[in-house]
Amino acid sequence: MFEIQLEHLYSMTLLIFASLVPVLNPFGGAMFFVTLTNGVDTKMRARMANRIGLYSAIVLFVSFYAGSLILSFFGISIDILRVAGGIVLFSAGWQTLNAPSTDEGEDPKPKSARALASMAFYPCTLPLTTGPGSISVAVAFGANPMRSWGDMAGAILGIILSAALVWFCYRFSDRVTRAVGVAGSDAIARIFAFILICIGVATFWMGFSHLWAQLPASVS
């Protein structure tokens, strides 16, 4: 009996982890994190990475246990969540793409500790890291009844491991900036800002197209 529970734990952990990591995209998100925190000192960036890892775990746990209840209470569908998330991602990418460039030897305008702390949740955690994709995955898994304590423990462990991978990638993302220098970092920032805009448009269009397809049924 105990061996069966352990098997459930392993299988559920791998299932949750393998399903969340592609939509969380911690490796690509780390590059966006570097872009949004351009000019932030290493210690503050490490604190932000710690907060993002914690916030990501909280968002995933809330989505897993109460996501469907919260969305249904406010009458919000996953497609509406995609539309709103796409707009936010587009806005963040547009602001970064049009931000003034940082020349060699020129210190960027510093942000206050309070502003950086608030950035750790929005937009770095939500919707950049735990966006509509990861929230919908967590909600879908949470809507299915758990067969045993092994499944429940595996779901918890899978979410923790996913958030830990996000923290690891974000925590050491500044090494890319050190390797390429200020000019290279600014170029990477522009490239990933444009990619972020594209992701925002794609996320928005995915939600909008589904809502548009449902429009005739709702009108009739």
State the DSSP code for 167. H
Residue pair 146/11 in contact by the 8 Å Cβ criterion: no
Q: Is the peptide bond before 127 cis (omega within 30 degrees of 0)?
A: yes
pLDDT category at 219 given cuts 50, 70, 90 is: low
Q: Is the pLDDT of residue 90 over 80?
A: yes
Rounded Cα gap, residues 20 and 61, in angstroms: 12
**pLDDT one-digit tens code per residue, 49-61:** 999 999 999 999 9
**Paired tokens of 24:** 């969380």
What span, in angstroms and rounded, lies between the C-alpha atoms of 154 and 160?
10
Contacts of 198 (CB under 8 A, 6+ apart): 93
Look at residue 104 in the predicted model and tell me its pLDDT: 45
**Beta carbons of 61 and 159 less than 8 angstroms apart:** yes
Residues, the chain: 220
* pLDDT tens digits for range 33-81: 888 887 788 899 999 999 999 999 999 999 999 988 888 888 888 788 7
| Residue entry with tokens 């998330």 | 85
From the list 143, 120, 148, 145, the residue with the least C-alpha distance to 58 is: 120
CA distance 65 to 108: 42
| Residue tagged 């702390």 (tokens) | 117
Q: Which domain does 211 fall in, by range?
A: 2-219
Query: Which segments of 75-173 does DSSP mark as H helices, in order?
Result: 78-97, 113-121, 132-143, 149-171
Q: What angle do CA 84, 77, 142 make, to 5 degrees?
A: 115
- Rounded to an integer, what distance in angstroms lies between the CA atom of residue 41 and that of residue 58? 26
How does residue 180 score in pLDDT terms, banded at 50, 70 and 90? low
Counted domains in the chain: 1
Are residues 211 and 83 in contact, defined by beta-carbon separation less than 8 angstroms?
Answer: yes
The predicted pLDDT at position 39 comes to 75
Contact between 103 and 182 (Cβ < 8 Å): yes
